[in-house]
Amino acid sequence: MIQVKVYRQQIQPTSTAFQNNHQPTTPEIAVRPDTSATKMPAWNPDKDIPSLASNVILITGGTAGLGSGSISELAKHAPAHIIFTGRNQQSADALIKKQSTATPNVKVTFIRCDISSFASIATASDEILAQISRLDIVMLNAGVMAVDAAVSVDGYEIQMMTNHLGHALLIRRLLPILQQTATTHGDARVINLTSVAYTQAPKLGIDFATLKTPQENQGGLIPGGKYPKAN
Ligand SMILES: NC(=O)c1ccc[n+]([C@@H]2O[C@H](COP(=O)([O-])OP(=O)(O)OC[C@H]3O[C@@H](n4cnc5c(N)ncnc54)[C@H](OP(=O)(O)O)[C@@H]3O)[C@@H](O)[C@H]2O)c1
């Protein structure tokens, strides 16, 4: 079974999106209640993340922030391979160097991928698939917020493209190996990060009519508040 978890809570810098990672859950799509107004439960990644032995993990946007922190925390639990993506080669090299000392037995690989470009995602997903025979965890983390109004190279509003559409294509391309991993090893997990800014989403939903424009008139840090809602 492939599990999709929806976390509608603010991500705290000192915590991660792995609050309930690797606890078996049913039903197939588990929607966690909105706990943004409540206190986060105590959670210690050293103790509360179980063994990840043999697991293959993919994290998008692993060169900084939550992605980079998650790589360091997950690597302590001995997965076979962590692949991370991003654009910043220098940051990627620095992280690989750090992990080669901190967790030398964990293979860590960087694959360049501009998640705001369909062509880059196609190339990167081929490179990922060429390196792995299973895929246990995918953390869809790469994202931007409050950038200048623009459209992507494919013509979509840049935040919706970077934070949602790009990941949708990536998962589409990785779905067969996720399904195969779930069948063979009993579980595969996709973790999709979002933001409490979903509350800004327009009441009528995503404005598809203007999705291929910069949407500069929709205002706010996130035009139309739509990508968190979509995620
Ligand atoms: N931190 C928070 O409090 C918070 C709150 C709500 C939601 N979030 C969400 O959580 C995720 C991580 O946030 P963060 O604070 O860790 O962000 P961050 O520190 O700014 O890191 C963002 C990561 O995304 C990657 N990225 C951005 N644009 C990209 C692109 N076009 N192609 C490929 N990679 C790209 C960056 O890699 P490169 O620079 O190498 O491309 C970087 O590794 C985001 O999706 C964000 O929207 C965070």
Question: Could you report the per-residue pLDDT of 131-166, keeping only the tens digit for each?
Answer: 999 999 999 999 998 888 899 999 999 989 999 999
- Gap between the Cα atoms of 28 and 172, Å rounded: 18
Handedness of CA 110, 112, 114, 117 (dihedral sign): negative
DSSP string of 136-166, one letter each residue: -EEEE-----SPPS-B-TTSSBHHHIIIIIH
Q: Is 99 in the pocket of ligand 1 (CB under 6 A)?
A: no
Give the distance (Å) from ligand 1 centre to CA of residue 6: 18
Strands 107-112 and 2-6: unpaired
pTM recorded for the entire structure: 0.85
Tokens representing 133? 């025979």
pLDDT < 50 positions in the chain: 6-31
Which of 203, 208, 207, 200 minimizes the C-alpha distance to 228? 200
Residue 80 Cβ contacting ligand 1 at under 6 Å: no
Question: Which residue lies with its CA nearest to atom 19 of ligand 1?
Answer: 65
Cβ–ligand 1 contact at 71 (below 6 Å)? no
Domain range annotation of the chain: 2-11+50-230
The CATH number assigned to the domain with range 2-11+50-230 reads 3.40.50.720
